[in-house]
Each structure stands twice: as structure tokens, then as C-alpha cells.
A and B are shown apart, each in its own frame.
Chain A
């Protein structure tokens, strides 16, 4: 079945460092890909998405490109801030027979940014 594999954390960086969180997927068909973020004490929220191959999603300085050839959707940011400390989840949409919007999540990667 469809699945998502994320790099394990925690990832600890200094402020202004470059961030990469790896995500690869296994899927039949052409799913959409997402990154969700969970800040401390808050619910999951959508960070960015890409709906087809070679699309780049971007938001708040974060970017991820939908690479079909490598089945990857790595999250990057050029200069992280302390406020980016959170858990990041990679996810894909699993299109059911009724075209329902079911998301399959990776295990999450904890990012800790130190001042």
C-alpha cells in the first residue's frame, strides 16, 4: 500500500543554519504531497503542498519539490529560526475509490533550533 518514510529526528540546528528534512514515498497513481507542521501545544497545520510532479510548494521560507523520478518530497529552508522549532510531518493523499481525501502521514521529524 501507499506509505511515507521520513528521516528520523530529532534534528538540532543553530539559528540561520540550512535545513533539509528528507521524505520519500511509495504510491500507486499520482498522489498529492504535503508537509504539515505541529508547533508546541498546537494542532497540525498545513505548511505547503504540491499536487503534481515537478511542482514546488513553498510557504514561510520553506520549500519542497515533488520529484517523481526519485519519489521524494524533501523539505528545505535556507535559514532557520528558533520559531521554526516544531514537529514536521510529510504526508500524501491516498485517493480512495470514491476520490476521498485520505492522508497518509510519515512518523514526523522533530526540529529544534538553538539561538
Chain B
């Protein structure tokens, strides 16, 4: 079974530039998550989709971050304009459904962003 695919693995940009990350979840997984992991911290949820609808985006900085999952399969996370503090690893995860307490999220390897 193919895992969660993410690209690019690494990206270096200057502040105020834009960047986009792509994620393809495990086939059949209805729920997709984007997490931000800053060095030395645990992953923090940015946005959660159930199929193509947003379930939780309470911690997404909406003035610069946007995400979509138009067909309920793959997803794109965009940052525009980037700030220095956006340097982090962006993790995509998926699960069968968003039911409480099942707990098993399947993570991709992440996309590491460096903002100079």
C-alpha cells in the first residue's frame, strides 16, 4: 500500500515569496491533515479536511496561509507571503475517517521549508 506522498521535500525561499506544498493521501482516506513542525517543537495542526470540506482551520494563519482539497483527494498548502517564522517542516497526514479516538494518522515524510 502506497503511503502519504508529499512534495517537494525541501524548499528554500526568501521572505515575502510564495511557496506551495502538495500532498497525496493514502487511497480511500477521507480525512487529511496539515501540520506545522517548527524545530524543537511538536507538530501543530494547521488544517483538517473531511473529504473536500474543512473541519478545523482554527490555527491556520489565514492572512498568509491557504489550503484546498478540491476533489477530496490530494491537497495543496500555500504560503504567501512567507515570513522567517514560517521556516518549519510541513507534515501531511491522512486517516480513514475523522472519528474521535481512533488515533492512527499516517504521515508523509514532510516538506522542509527554509525562509531566508
Q: A96-B56, A100-B55, A102-B56 are in contact. Are A44 and B91 (CB under 8 A)?
A: yes
Q: Is the CB of B99 within 8 A of A43?
A: no
A47 to B103, CA, bound (A): 11
Q: Is the CB of B104 within 8 A of A46?
A: yes
Q: Is the CB of B104 within 8 A of A93?
A: no
**What's the least CB distance linking B91 to chain A, in Å?**
7
A108 to B44, CA, bound (A): 12
Q: Is the CB of A46 within 8 A of B41?
A: no
Which of the residues A42, A99, A106 comes within 8 Å of B99, measured between beta carbons? A99
Which of the residues B41, B45, B91 comes within 8 Å of A102, measured between beta carbons? B45
Contact size range, B: 20 to 34
Q: Is the CB of B91 within 8 A of A95?
A: no
Interface residues of A in 97-115 (CB under 8 A from B): 98-108
Q: Check if A58 is an interface residue, CB within 8 A of chain B.
A: no
Q: A98-B55, A100-B56, A101-B31 are in contact. Are A44 and B43 (CB under 8 A)?
A: yes
In the complex, per-residue mask of B33-46: 1 if CB is within 8 Å of any chain A CB, else 0: 00000001111110
- Taking Cβ atoms with an 8 Å cutoff, the residues of A that contact B are 4, 6, 31-32, 34, 41-46, 49, 51, 89, 91, 93, 95-96, 98-108
- Taking Cβ atoms with an 8 Å cutoff, the residues of B that contact A are 3-4, 31, 40-45, 48, 50, 55-56, 91, 93, 95, 97-110
What 4 pairs across the A-B complex have the smallest Cβ distances?
A: A105-B42, A43-B107, A44-B107, A32-B101
Q: List 10 A-B contacts (CB under 8 A).
A: A32-B100, A41-B109, A42-B109, A43-B4, A43-B106, A44-B107, A46-B105, A95-B100, A101-B95, A101-B101
